[in-house]
Amino acid sequence: MASWRELKRSALADIHRAFEIPAVYLTHAAGTPVRVNVRLHQKQIISEQMIDDWTSAGKLLDMTDRIVFDTKEVAKVLGKSYVIFGNSEAYLTGPTKPERDGYIYAEVSEVSQADLTAFLDTVDTTGPEWEGILT
């Protein structure tokens, strides 16, 4: 019989496969692009500014974006790396949590369209890892 950890790992793999989005992971403009399948995940967090003030509890929750990486595709996620989903959607990685059950969770912030366009102009996007990402 499978242990609880094995069942959990299997369930996480099923979830990841069901919700994965193809993307390109790039540490910097001159870096080597890596084709990845990641999950874009929104998480509710308690606002740091209002942590002691419960009078407006309904306003305490904020949403933050995270991207979940499979360690089979990327062994380590560096801060300030790009995760590019297309010509109009990309994220910049921030702090990460330690690897857990084969996945790395990275806090991310969305890259503006102007910044993404300027960045892509400096990157060689002719390789096979870019197929289907940039239209």
Whether the pTM exceeds 0.75: the reply is: yes
Strands 103-110, 34-46: pairing kind: unpaired
Give the residues across from 109 on adjacent strands.
92
Report all structural domains of the chain as residue ranges with CATH numbers, in order of start: 4-122 (2.40.10)
Q: What is the pLDDT of residues 37-80, one digit of tens each?
A: 999 987 666 665 555 666 666 666 666 789 999 999 999 999 99
- pLDDT at position 44 is 66
- pLDDT at position 45 is 64
Q: What is the pLDDT of residues 76-132, one digit of tens each?
A: 999 999 999 999 999 999 999 999 889 999 999 999 999 999 999 999 999 999 999
Torsion of CA 126, 129, 132, 135, to 10 degrees: -30
